[in-house]
Amino acid sequence: MSRTSFYWVFEDRDALLNALLGRWKSKNTGNWITRTEVYADNVCEAVLNVFDCWFDDSVFDSPFESAIRGWALQSPEVAREVAEDDRLRIAALIALFERFDYGRATADVRARAMYLAQIGYASTQAREDISIRMMRVADYVEVFTGLKSGDRDLQRFFSRING
């Protein structure tokens, strides 16, 4: 975009930065929370619904997540926004686990472990072969839920992700 056309779209630099932050909140936080609320027969299926954020860039943009978190290191205002969105995302995961009868403390720990694992992937810009990550899916579900995924749940997940 040329400098002159920039002002046709954004009033100033702050407007651009606010738009970027708004897009991140809408896409990454909004989609994350939505995925926690999607219908699921069991907790394993519910966790697999959230795993869509791990594998589908149209649902959750990991490079964008990393960029916003990098920006937050330099901007206290953005850091506050990121902290609030982290809180909302974790609260949504806690609610997911509580829906499936996990106690509050257990739901909190499982939600944080699951969330921090994904944010770790995004923040470190981890690059691993998709086939390796897919092989780990069932084990991740078991670590986060304490239960083994049923074949039906895994097949639905893999068919959704692999198209």
DSSP 11-47: SSHHHHHHHHHHHHIIIIIHHHHHHHHS--SSHHHHH
Residues in the chain: 163
Q: How many CA atoms are closer than 13 Å to the CA of 79, on its beta-carbon side?
A: 5
**Alpha carbon 96 to chain centroid, angstroms:** 14
Structure tokens at 153: 């749940």
pLDDT class for 145, splitting at 50, 70, 90?
Answer: very high
More confident residue, 155 or 121: 155
User: Domain residues of the chain, as ranges?
Assistant: 3-162
pLDDT of residue 162: 82
pTM for the model stands at: 0.89
pLDDT of residue 126: 75
Stretch 106-122: mean pLDDT, rounded? 94
Stretch 140-151: mean pLDDT, rounded? 97
Q: pLDDT tens for residues 3-53?
A: 556 555 556 777 778 889 999 999 999 999 999 999 999 999 999 999 999
Q: Decide: residue 77, CB within 10 A, 0-12 exposed, 13-18 middle, 19+ buried.
A: exposed
Q: pLDDT tens for residues 66-109?
A: 999 999 999 999 999 999 999 999 999 999 999 999 999 999 99
Structure tokens at 65: 């997540």
3-162: which CATH architecture?
Orthogonal Bundle (1.10)
pLDDT of residue 153: 97
How far apart, in whole angstroms, are the C-alpha atoms of residue 43 and residue 114?
13
Residue 163 has pLDDT above 80, yes or no: no
Closest CA to 110 of 143, 77, 155: 143
Tokens 């990098």 locate to 70
Closest CA to 119 of 57, 62, 49: 62
pLDDT of residue 124: 80
pLDDT of residue 28: 97
How far apart, in whole angstroms, are the C-alpha atoms of residue 129 and residue 4?
42
More confident residue, 126 or 10: 126
pLDDT of residue 6: 55
Stretch 126-155: mean pLDDT, rounded? 93
